[in-house]
Amino acid sequence: MLPALPQYRSVLEEKSDWETIPQTFVDGEFVGGSDVLAELDERDELAETVRASA
């Protein structure tokens, strides 16, 4: 895996106000990082969150 370019990180942080990578967006809306996705999955809410974009 290649390290994120500083410009890439800067743009993501401006868009989401979240400093860590990876970040997940659904329909242009920031959902969260991998920790948030794991929590959504544990609560059986991940599929519904992702399905919102379908």
Mean pLDDT confidence for 25-52: 90
53 pLDDT higher than 80 = no
Q: Which of 30, 36, 27 is nearest to 12 (CA)?
A: 30
Check: CB of residue 19 under 8 Å from CB of residue 32: no
Q: How many helices (H) and strands (E) does the chain have?
A: 3, 2
For residues 51 and 1, the model is more confident at 51
* Helix runs in the chain, H state only: 6-16, 34-42, 46-51
What's residue 44's pLDDT?
95
42: which 2 tokens?
A: 């544990």
Look up the CATH superfamily of 6-51: Glutaredoxin (3.40.30.10)
Residue 28's pLDDT band, with cuts at 50, 70 and 90, is confident
How many Cβ atoms from other residues are within 10 Å of residue 13's Cβ? 14
pTM to 2 decimal places:
0.68
